[in-house]
Amino acid sequence: LELRLSPERLTGEITAFLTAPDRVACIVGRGGLGKTRLLRAVATAASGWTVRFLTPGADLSPEHFEMLPAQGDLLVIVDDAHDRSGLPVLLRSIAQRNPKAKVLISLRPYGMGPLASALRTIGLHPTDLPRWDLTDLTDEDAEALAGEALGEAATETLVRRLAHLTADCPLITVVGGVLISRDQLDPACLDHEDSVREEILRAFADVLVADPAQAESGLRRGVLDAVAIPQPFRSDDEQFQ
């Protein structure tokens, strides 16, 4: 299901960074606003460019940077940079490997301090960067997203209620709307303003563990509960696996 979490205009603006002289750009916003989806849209739109996503949580060595093309148009995308250490080495190594490389970074607002320090190591300041800040959806955008997620189940009242309760987290809007459209969530949960998010996420977890083709549902539920305790975590971390 394709849902418009990010305006096409914003994707176009960020893609234009590829033809600008700037070497680094960033997307800033708190969790759940669609930063990762936007990065993927930019990668898809970067026609003619070699695009590389940095694996979240990966420990980098000089050999990793040798795998990047040393010439030509290269875009390196760093998602969730607020969770990554070693940004100065990362930015310097990319620039040394390919002076024409562009780096597009997404991070939460509290990550701007460490990023500023990293930028200074390559002679840049945060004010020198193209920057796009993702904010909460407008009422109109939230209702459009809720209506699309609800699909044929959408009514004017239901759309407005879902949008009102989840406007600050598009992820919850989408999950709740899709579950309601598939009769996997009772729309009456939207009457419980204090617990609606918990009910939506609980229903989502129930759907995840109910697949009979996968492991026994009780075991899957136990795994979900267990990994929820130490979060945030990186699923590709060897110790976690």
Reported as a pLDDT band with limits 50, 70 and 90, residue 232 is: low
What is the arithmetic mean of pLDDT over 4-10?
58
- How far is residue 103's CA from residue 89's CA, in Å, rounded to a whole number? 13
Spatial contact of 234 and 240, defined as CB atoms under 8 Å apart = yes
Question: For residue 169, which amino acid is it?
Answer: C
Please check the confidence at residue 130 and state whether its pLDDT lies above 70: yes
Spatial contact of 146 and 170, defined as CB atoms under 8 Å apart = no
Spatial contact of 106 and 6, defined as CB atoms under 8 Å apart = no
Nearest to 157 by CA among 125, 112, 116, 188: 188
Q: Between helices 170-181 and 139-150, what is the axis angle to 10°?
A: 30
The string of pLDDT tens digits covering residues 143-161 is: 998 999 999 999 999 999 9
Please check the confidence at residue 173 and state whether its pLDDT lies above 80: yes
- Give the pLDDT score at 29: 87
DSSP 8-state code for residue 57: T
Reported as a pLDDT band with limits 50, 70 and 90, residue 50 is: very high
Distance of CA 24 to the CA centre of its chain: 18
- How far is residue 112's CA from residue 91's CA, in Å, rounded to a whole number? 15
Nearest to 78 by CA among 127, 119, 121, 123: 119
Please check the confidence at residue 213 and state whether its pLDDT lies above 80: no
- How far is residue 170's CA from residue 162's CA, in Å, rounded to a whole number? 10
Decide: helix, strand or coil at residue 6.
coil
- How far is residue 119's CA from residue 113's CA, in Å, rounded to a whole number? 10
The string of pLDDT tens digits covering residues 71-116 is: 999 999 999 888 888 888 888 999 999 999 999 999 999 888 888 8
- Give the pLDDT score at 4: 46
pTM for the structure as a whole: 0.69
φ, ψ of residue 51 to 5 degrees: the values are -115, 130
H helices of 31-107, in order, are 35-45, 62-66, 87-97
